[in-house]
Copies of this chain bind each other. A is one copy, B any other.
Amino acid sequence: MRFLAIPTLIAALATTAAGVTPAGADDLLRDQAKKSFEPIPKTAPAIPGDPATEDKLALGRMLFFEPRLSDNHDISCASCHNLSLGGVDSGALSGGHNAQLAGREVQTVLNAIFNKSQYWDGRTSDLKDQVVNSVMANPKAMLKTRGGPMAINPVELSATKQRAIEELKSMPAYVEAFHKAFPEDANPLNYENVGRAIALFEATLITPDAPFDRWLTGDANALSDDQRDGLKLFIDKGCASCHNGVNVGGASYAKFGVVASPPPEYLPADDLGRFAVTRNVSDKYAFKVPSLRNVELTAPYFHSGATLELSKAVSVMAETQLGVKLGEDETRKLVAFLKSLTGRQPEVTLPILPPRSH
């Protein structure tokens, strides 16, 4: 045991008296947390084999906001991945609110680069393939088909790809932008490069400096008492056994309903989840464990978008996945912890898109 100087000791006692976790307990919890979690890095990660350049990122930003990639020229990546709203829509297009439009609930594009796979069923592993899959599918058709673009007729998909590329080729500013971004390609304007450019832009959409990350890297004051208690519950109750890593999720799959079956509005019977990708019976109703980064901003929750309330989502998860009935106070503290996962949102300036040439 170390001896503390008197003023330090008084300060430590005063802190304890005020209800703040003593420094020793804080360090212990941090050591424990570091085994499960990593902070979001401060700078955008590289995509292996595809170094980011200013020209690629500028093009990627244009394409991310480009509605003329869609069949009706009315939907861009940014329509569903609204960067003013945590990288999701406001619940309007997806399952929970307007079931008639339902695909699955939009997953955020923020920190998506840190997920091990993309989509609720993990059907693409990297961002570029996700982009090619989503951009090139007809998002309207996608919205009508539970499960998304996989269900789309490949002939239609191919025709859509071709139209999107023709549309871009008709605008000289895009032809120039693709040549600048991919100087090594003789014919750079193709949908592989659309995917590369958008994926590189998306890899910049990260949210460092969340209170939890500041605490994890040593700032003892970054979390409130409730948030610290919530983190402890999050680890002790078992949430962290799936929701872990840099994205507090996004790294594995789990059946929705490990212990108890969720109500049908939470788990609609016709969406078989990862089974549609693997055809393994054990993957029926399994979904990617979603990242909980910025979860405060990404309501409604679950692949079904069945609830707008984070506290409800927490208690449903505890019951169905862990067989735990949470007390009101426990739920409140877990929600407080989850709100400490909201990071600094990326600052994005709208691109100016070229006019169509007529």
Binding site for B on A (CB under 8 A): 65, 67-68, 72-74, 82-86, 89-93, 97-98, 296-297, 299, 308-311, 345, 347-353, 355-356, 358
3 nearest A-B pairs in the assembled complex, by CB-CB distance: A74-B92, A73-B90, A309-B358
| Contact assessment for A90 and B74 in the assembled complex, using a CB-CB cutoff below 8 Å | yes
Per the bound structure, the CA–CA distance linking A297 and B296 in Å amounts to: 38
Set of chain B residues within 8 Å of A97, measured between Cβ atoms: 72-73
Q: A97-B72, A97-B73 are in contact. Are A352 and B84 (CB under 8 A)?
A: yes
Set of chain B residues within 8 Å of A90, measured between Cβ atoms: 67-68, 73-74
Q: A299-B356, A309-B358, A356-B299 are in contact. Are A73 and B92 (CB under 8 A)?
A: yes
| Contact assessment for A353 and B73 in the assembled complex, using a CB-CB cutoff below 8 Å | no
Set of chain B residues within 8 Å of A347, measured between Cβ atoms: 349-350
The residue in chain B whose Cβ has the minimal distance to the Cβ of A68 is B90
| Contact assessment for B345 and A348 in the assembled complex, using a CB-CB cutoff below 8 Å | no
Per the bound structure, the CA–CA distance linking A113 and B177 in Å amounts to: 33
Per the bound structure, the CA–CA distance linking A65 and B83 in Å amounts to: 10
Set of chain B residues within 8 Å of A86, measured between Cβ atoms: 355
**Chain B's nearest CB lies how many Å from the CB of A317?**
15
The residue in chain B whose Cβ has the minimal distance to the Cβ of A93 is B74
Given contacts A72-B97, A72-B98, A73-B90, 8 further A-B contacts (CB under 8 A): A68-B90, A74-B90, A74-B92, A84-B350, A84-B351, A86-B355, A297-B355, A299-B356
- Can you name 8 A-B residue pairings with CB atoms under 8 Å? A67-B89, A67-B92, A68-B90, A74-B89, A74-B93, A308-B358, A309-B358, A350-B350
Per the bound structure, the CA–CA distance linking A358 and B296 in Å amounts to: 9
The residue in chain B whose Cβ has the minimal distance to the Cβ of A344 is B352
Per the bound structure, the CA–CA distance linking A82 and B84 in Å amounts to: 14
Q: A90-B68, A90-B74, A311-B358 are in contact. Are A349 and B349 (CB under 8 A)?
A: yes
Set of chain B residues within 8 Å of A68, measured between Cβ atoms: 90
The residue in chain B whose Cβ has the minimal distance to the Cβ of A345 is B352
| Contact assessment for B353 and A310 in the assembled complex, using a CB-CB cutoff below 8 Å | no
Per the bound structure, the CA–CA distance linking A73 and B82 in Å amounts to: 12
Q: Identify A73's interface contact among B73, B91, B345, CB under 8 A.
A: B91
Q: Identify A310's interface contact among B65, B85, B311, B358, CB under 8 A.
A: B358
| Contact assessment for A92 and B72 in the assembled complex, using a CB-CB cutoff below 8 Å | yes
Set of chain B residues within 8 Å of A350, measured between Cβ atoms: 83-84, 347-350
Per the bound structure, the CA–CA distance linking A89 and B310 in Å amounts to: 34
The residue in chain B whose Cβ has the minimal distance to the Cβ of A294 is B355
| Contact assessment for A85 and B353 in the assembled complex, using a CB-CB cutoff below 8 Å | yes
Set of chain B residues within 8 Å of A85, measured between Cβ atoms: 67, 353
Per the bound structure, the CA–CA distance linking A351 and B350 in Å amounts to: 11
Q: Identify A82's interface contact among B67, B89, B92, CB under 8 A.
A: B67
**Chain B's nearest CB lies how many Å from the CB of A347?**
6
Per the bound structure, the CA–CA distance linking A358 and B85 in Å amounts to: 15
The residue in chain B whose Cβ has the minimal distance to the Cβ of A91 is B73
Per the bound structure, the CA–CA distance linking A310 and B309 in Å amounts to: 49
